[in-house]
Structure formats: C-alpha cells, structure tokens
Amino acid sequence: MYPDPEIKIDNSWTLFLDRDGVINRKLDNDYVKKTSEFEFLPGSIEAIKIFSTVFRKIIVVTNQRGIGRKIMTHKDLEDIHNFMLKKIRAAGGHIDKIFYCPHNISEKCLCRKPEPGMGEKAKKEFKEIDFSKSIIAGDSISDLKFGKNLGMKTVYINNSTENIPEIADFKLKNLYSLAVSIKTIFF
C-alpha cells in the first residue's frame, strides 16, 4: 500500500519517526544501550537524506523505558543519539530534534507513546508544526496511535506479510520504501 497521491506533501509538512525498528535494528528482548549495539537498518540513512529534501522538520519520537528500568542512563542515550545524528549528517541528511520518553510503563506519564506528550513538546518548540500536515512512521501500534491522537497520517513500517492494522493509513516494508514513494508519488 502506497501513500495517496491526493495528499500534496510539500516543505510545510513534518515527518515524525520512531527510532527502534524504523531507523535502527530493534534488539530482541533488549534495549540499545550503547553505540556498539546501534545498527542502522538498510536504507534508513539514505531515506533520511531524501526526507531532508522534502520535509520542513524531521522529528524522532522514541520510547526509551530502559532508562526508567535503570538498564541505561540518559548519558548512554545521548551518546547513542549523537552517534546516530553524526552518521546521518555525514550522509547529507538531518534530524531537527529527538524527543524521548525515559519513563517505565508503570509511571503513567503523558510522554510515552501512544500518549501525545512528545508531539506536543515538538509543537511547542517548533510552532510551525501542523499535525494535520504531519506523518508518523513507526513499527508499532503505539506509534500509530500516537499519530492518530494528534491528527497525523500514519505509516506502518513492517516487512512482514501480515495485514495492515486498521489504525494505519499506509503500510510499507521499510523507511527507504517510504522515502522512494514520497519522492515518486508526491513530486
């Protein structure tokens, strides 16, 4: 399923990206706790480079409950994100901001996806964000619910043959497929 050509994306749009399972490989039953465990998914850096020519803002929103569980620290996460951003910049792409939720599920915070807190923080910092002109690309139902809670278009990133969840507007196998679709369909 590809994005609807009736939607006209231009540089006034914002792209929200989940991190684990979308930009980098998700670790089975574990957390990416240090840079040596961070592995970009094939095509994700190139996708972000393409997105950088399309979207006004690119925002990463990521649940990082490993901090709340005391498996990693804020500094560990900062090192991982600096590593990720450096690689993306070196390839000609950019990410405007990374927002993360460090809380454990039991803390009932308002920033953990699917709650809208990280999106609201992004809008507060970047006043030009219009959620009706925003897309969230994520690999989980909580990512899609986050987007729907804010009125975004939702893209389910999943390489399986499973059916598209009802809450998803679109399903693509990876971030690169989304980038190519946006470039070929919308421009």
Q: How far apart are CA 175 and CA 148, in angstroms?
A: 19
CA torsion sign, 157 to 34 to 64 to 49?
Answer: negative
Q: With beta carbons less than 8 A apart as the criterion, state whether 144 and 22 touch.
A: no
Active site residues: 18, 20
User: In the structure encoding, which two tokens stand for residue 142, read together?
Assistant: 């909580």
3-state DSSP percent of the chain in helix, strand and coil, to 5: 35, 15, 45
Burial of 154 (0-12, 13-18, 19+ CB in 10 A): buried
User: In the structure encoding, which two tokens stand for residue 11, read together?
Assistant: 């540089």
